[in-house]
Amino acid sequence: MQTITSLIRLRMAAHDAHYAGGLVDGARMLHLFGDVATELLIRSDGDEGLFVAYDSVEFLAPVHAGDFIEATGHITAMGKTSRKMVFEARKVIIPAGIAGQVSAADVLAEPILVCRASGTCVVPINCQRKPVTAPVLSS
């Protein structure tokens, strides 16, 4: 059985900051998870599918403008049309915060888990273009 995975890495820009101190809205992590889910569905079924629901979402650490976030996910189970997935977002690079050196940044020795979630997507049968390659749920 092959595990289907996806990884997206990007920098949170100033326009992503929604709150004082350059704090990024937690919904931005869910947006990234939606993009990861879309890639997972394309890889598994050849179709973007639809995100139905999150089962759980945990915001674990703040994200600020200038942080580089790595969002990952994988399919844990597949039903006839449903795809269960888990996601994690980690902060991997942060601004160095050195006065007078606004472009200085540091790669974190240990990435910081900022958010994790699980959810379900569906791909209607008539949209599935690839055979099921992940574990199948009985449904």
Query: In the chain, what are the domain boundaries?
Result: 5-127
Question: 71, 36 in Cβ contact below 8 A?
Answer: yes
Rounded to 5 degrees, what angle do the CA atoms 82, 84, 88 make?
150
Query: What single string gives the DSSP state of each residue in 75-104?
Result: EEEE-SSEEEEEEEEEEEEEE--BTTBTT-
pLDDT recorded at residue 139: 40
- Identify the CA nearest to 95 among candidates 104, 87, 85: 104
Share of the chain above pLDDT 90, in %: 81
For 29, the enclosing helix (H) or strand (E) is helix 27-45
What whole-number distance in Å separates Cα of residue 59 and Cα of residue 51? 19
Q: What is the dotted CATH code of the domain comprising 5-127?
A: 3.10.129.10
Q: What is the pTM of this model?
A: 0.88
Burial 83-108 (b: 16+ CB within 10 A, else e): bbbbbbbbbebbbeeeeeeeeebeee
For the stretch 6-59, pLDDT in tens is: 999 999 999 999 899 899 999 999 999 999 999 999 999 999 999 999 999 999
User: 3-class SS at 31?
Assistant: helix
Residue 5 clears pLDDT 80, i.e. is over it: yes
